[in-house]
Structure 1
Amino acid sequence: MGKTILEVKNLKTKYVTRFREDVYAVDGVSLTIEEGKSLGIAGESGCGKSTLALSLMGYYFPPLHYMSGDIIVDGKNISQMEPDAIRKSILGTEIAYIPQAAMNALNPTQKIIRFIEDVIHVHNPKMPKKEIYDLASARFEELGLPASVLDKHAVELSGGMKQRTVIAISTILSPKVLIADEPSSALDVTSQKMVIKMLKSLMEKGYIKSMIFITHELPLLYNVTDDIMVMYAGQIVERGTAKDMVFDPVHPYSKGLMGSIIVPESGTREHKLTAIPGTPPNLKKPPVGCRFADRCKYATAECKVNAVGIREFGDGRSYRCLIDVEKLKEVYENEQ
């Protein structure tokens, strides 16, 4: 096993609405990522993926609130650090974040180099602008972006170029962990491919040590990440290698998620598309039992009243279900 770069233990965060209602968007999430590895997080809209991404930075502002748990980055626990300390010593150098719709995050009135100066001066206020420009120019060209982009405004760049520019800016200080939240959404296929290639290049060149890639597209994760976690209603319901999660999912939700999308891979083309009935539970009042029980055709009365923990079943795989893994696999085989 390699060095652990990020370790998260039983992280719980919530939103507090203007009506003083609590929404438990991340509930007991644990994960680890080793140096040189990438982890994909998948799930339908509203399952808590983006909230988890924000929570992992340890940078909380209303309506998002930290409840409990640990976030340990390269041996340093950042879960209860002050926001100003997080901004000055963690963001950008330890953890970098690429938000959804990142291409719209650039101020249209500023040149790209000004964003980079702002990022670097938070951590190194005395670094000369000439040195910053030289660093940015070399990094951009190494990542396949022309240095001329530094002197342009955001409005002069295409959507794909904006996205790649935001990624380059976010990783200019070579963070240990990069959290990419839907980095290829709203892009055409060609631009998506270039973004993915850039992220892989950052890993290969050592500019980032590890990566969390968040998306609702499981097949995309198969081609980008080493491992995949499936999230549902604020909890992780299954984890395994990318290959196992795409070709041999165990949890009924993971199985349904894979069955509802087209995967152009050998061995899955002949499968019929199926939909997952029902809707996710209200996270203001999460169910006491399995959160997927009301939508699961295998659920029993016990599933709806008993708390469900994570079960390990070898080779680093785990799932959250009361039904034994062998019984689940047997049921799946009989249905084929």
Structure 2
Amino acid sequence: MGKTMLEVKDLKTKYITRFREDVYAVDGVSLKIEEGKSLGIAGESGCGKSTLALSLMGYYFPPLHYISGDIVVDGKNISKMDPDDIRRNILGTEIAYIPQAAMNALNPTQKIIRFIEDVIRVHEPKKTKKDIYDMAKARFEELGLPASVLEKHAVELSGGMKQRTVIAISTILSPKVLIADEPSSALDVTSQKMVIKMLKNLMEKGYIKSMIFITHELPLLYNVTDDIMVMYAGQIVEKGKAKEMVFDPIHPYSKGLMGSIIVPEAGSRDVKLTAIPGTPPNLKKPPAGCRFAERCRYATAECRAISIDSKEFEEGRSYRCIYDVEKLREVYGNEK
């Protein structure tokens, strides 16, 4: 086993609305990523993926609030650190975040190099402009970005180039963990491919030690990550190796998620796509039992009544369901 870069234990965070209502968006999430590994997190919109991404940085500001749990980055527990300490000593160097719609994060009136200077001087205030330029030029060129981008404004760059520029800036200080939230969404296929190639390049060259890749496109993760976790209504419902999660999902939600997506493989022409009926539960008042029960065709009265914990059934594989694996596979087999 490699060195653990990020370990999260039973993390719980919530939003407090302007009406003083609590929304439990991340509820008891645990995960671990080792050096050199990447983890994918998949799920439909509103399941809590982006909130989890924000929560993992330990940097909370209203309306997002920390409740409990531990976030350990390369041996440092950051879950209860002072926000200023996290900003100065953790963000950018230990853990970095690429938000959704990151291409819009750049100031349109500021040259890219000025943006990089601001990022670096938070951590290394004594670095000269020349030192920063030389450092940025070398990194950009190594990642396949022309050095001329540094002297341009964001409005002069295409969407794909802006996204790759934001990724380069976010990783300029070589963080231990990179969290990429939907980094390839809103891009054409060619730009998506370049973004994914760039992220893999960062891992291969050791500029980042581990990565979390968040998307609603589960099959995309098969080509990008080592492991996949499926999230639903603030909880992790299944996790395992990427190939297993795509081609042999166990939890009824994971199965439904894959059944609603075209996977390019032999025989896919004859496969019918299926939709998952219903809508996710209201996280202001989460249900007492399984959160997927109201949308699950196999749910029983017991599923709706009791809280269900994750079960590990193989090394590195677990799922959150009242049924055992054999029973689920039997049911799935009978439906074919």
TM-score, L = length of structure 1: 0.99
1:162-311 aligned at under 5 Å gives the runs 162-266=162-266, 268-311=268-311
Cα distance in 1 for partners of 2:56, 2:212 equals 10
In structure 2, give the amino acid aligned to 1:141.
Answer: E
In structure 1, give the amino acid aligned to 2:28.
Answer: G
Corresponding residue number in structure 2 for 1:38? 38
Report SS of the residue matched to 1:167. helix
Matched, 1:16 2:16: yes
Cα distance in 1 for partners of 2:46, 2:316 equals 27
Corresponding residue number in structure 2 for 1:116? 116
How far 1:267 moved relative to its partner? 5.8
Contact kept in structure 2, 1:11 and 1:30, CA below 8 Å:
yes
Report SS of the residue matched to 1:6. strand
Kindly report structure 1 stretches of 4+ aligned residues shifted beyond 6 Å: none
CA deviations 1:19-59 (Å, max 9, x no partner) are: 00000000000000000000000000000000000000000
CA deviations 1:247-267 (Å, max 9, x no partner) are: 000000000000001111236
1:305–1:49 distance in 2 versus 1, CA, 3 Å:
same
How far 1:272 moved relative to its partner? 1.3
Cα distance in 2 for partners of 1:206, 1:290 equals 40
Contact kept in structure 2, 1:98 and 1:181, CA below 8 Å:
yes
Contact kept in structure 2, 1:164 and 1:198, CA below 8 Å:
yes
CA deviations 1:179-235 (Å, max 9, x no partner) are: 000000000000000000000000000000000000000111011000000000000
How far 1:90 moved relative to its partner? 0.2
Cα distance in 2 for partners of 1:123, 1:267 equals 53
CA deviations 1:275-298 (Å, max 9, x no partner) are: 000000000000000000000000
1:130-141 aligned at under 5 Å gives the runs 130-141=130-141
Contact kept in structure 2, 1:113 and 1:150, CA below 8 Å:
yes
Once structures 1 and 2 are overlaid, which stretch shifts more, 259-268 or 152-161?
A: 259-268
Contact kept in structure 2, 1:262 and 1:269, CA below 8 Å:
no
Corresponding residue number in structure 2 for 1:5? 5
Report SS of the residue matched to 1:313. strand
Structure 2 alignment gaps of length 5 or more: none
In structure 2, give the amino acid aligned to 1:277.
Answer: P
How far 1:105 moved relative to its partner? 0.5
Contact kept in structure 2, 1:42 and 1:229, CA below 8 Å:
yes
1:131–1:48 distance in 2 versus 1, CA, 3 Å:
same
In structure 2, give the amino acid aligned to 1:97.
Answer: Y
Once structures 1 and 2 are overlaid, which stretch shifts more, 157-166 or 270-279?
A: 270-279
How far 1:269 moved relative to its partner? 5.0
Cα distance in 2 for partners of 1:232, 1:68 equals 19
Cα distance in 2 for partners of 1:331, 1:76 equals 44
Corresponding residue number in structure 2 for 1:150? 150
Cα distance in 1 for partners of 2:269, 2:113 equals 46
How far 1:268 moved relative to its partner? 4.8
Structure 1 alignment gaps of length 5 or more: none
Report SS of the residue matched to 1:100. coil
1:109–1:270 distance in 2 versus 1, CA, 3 Å:
same
Report SS of the residue matched to 2:281. coil
How far 1:315 moved relative to its partner? 2.4
Corresponding residue number in structure 2 for 1:49? 49
Number of corresponding residues: 336
* Superposition CA RMSD, Å: 0.7
Cα distance in 1 for partners of 2:328, 2:268 equals 19
Cα distance in 1 for partners of 2:269, 2:224 equals 20
In structure 2, give the amino acid aligned to 1:75.
Answer: G
Cα distance in 1 for partners of 2:255, 2:295 equals 13
1:314–1:269 distance in 2 versus 1, CA, 3 Å:
farther
How far 1:271 moved relative to its partner? 2.4
Matched, 1:333 2:309: no
